[in-house]
Amino acid sequence: MSAPVRLAKRVSELARCSRSEAEQYIEGGWVSVDGRVVDMPQHMVTTETVELDAAARLAVAEPATILFHKPAGLDAFATSDAALAYVDASTRWSEDPTEVRLLQRHFHRLTPLAPLEADASGLMVLSQDGRVWRRLTEDLDGIEQEFVVEVTGEMPFYGMQRLKHGLQYDGHTLPPCKVSWQNEVRLRFAIKGVRPGQLRDMCAQVGLGVVWIRRLRIGRVSLAKMPVGAWRYMPVEDRF
């Protein structure tokens, strides 16, 4: 029996390329072992059939950022991998406009970013990219987020103005935000620096109960028409 060798070494011999180029092919999802794509260069092989896709091209593997339509009731921030039970190959949005090749390594070490309370649904971000992590932690308070909130009750005539500016939360005066009626029972908020529980509290201060909350947008990145429970890739060139 042949001694086990790293997949990168076998691909290097097969494609007559350097070890680093072999690793790029593997990490790009262009290499299969006995018919199954393997994207880990350190994977050990012996007598298995190793094949390089005829369409293979060299490109540095980029870290993945996933946009997920979180369902209400999921506490995606309880643990770092709480959302991963919902995010796999079977739940990728069928209309994902990106052409990113789905690889198993995209589901490793994903960090949930831009907190969204468990009872709310809508856009959440999972990323392996340090640049995205910095943007959605260090700069998050300066990024406008958009929410739709379905409410009950009747708001007094001065309520809309107070929602826009004049309320307090957690002992602090809130900065101005944009609020408008989407229809008779739904309010649309465009707001910065929002905290978990804040929208419910703001509505309560003007006599409204909250039925549900959905986040539609973080900066320039939107939920679009992606259904609940589905996810798509965020292109590397997109920015919040």
Residue ranges of domains in the chain: 5-52, 65-141+221-233, 144-218
What is the pTM (predicted TM-score) of this model? Answer: 0.82
How many Cα atoms are found within 13 Å in the side-chain-facing hemisphere of 78?
10
**Angle made by CA atoms 87, 236, 50, in degrees to the nearest 5:** 65
Query: Between 128 and 2, whose confidence is greater?
Result: 128
Looking at residue 189, its pLDDT comes to 98
pLDDT band for position 155 (50/70/90)? very high
**Residues of the chain above pLDDT 90, percent:** 62
> Quick check: 1 pLDDT over 70?
no
In the chain, the amino acid numbered 95 is E
- How much is the average pLDDT of 36-53? 85
Looking at residue 58, its pLDDT comes to 79
The CATH T-level fold of domain 65-141+221-233 is Alpha-Beta Plaits (3.30.70)
The CATH T-level fold of domain 144-218 is Pseudouridine synthase (3.30.2350)
**Angle made by CA atoms 8, 84, 212, in degrees to the nearest 5:** 150
- Summarize pLDDT for 71-112 with one digit per residue, the tens: 999 999 888 788 888 998 899 999 999 988 888 888 888 999
| Structure tokens belonging to residue 64 | 């993945």
CATH code of the domain made up of 5-52: 3.10.290.10
> 184 with 197: CB under 8 angstroms?
no
Phi, psi of 28 (to 5 degrees): -80, 0
CA-nearest of 41, 49, 47 to 17 is 41
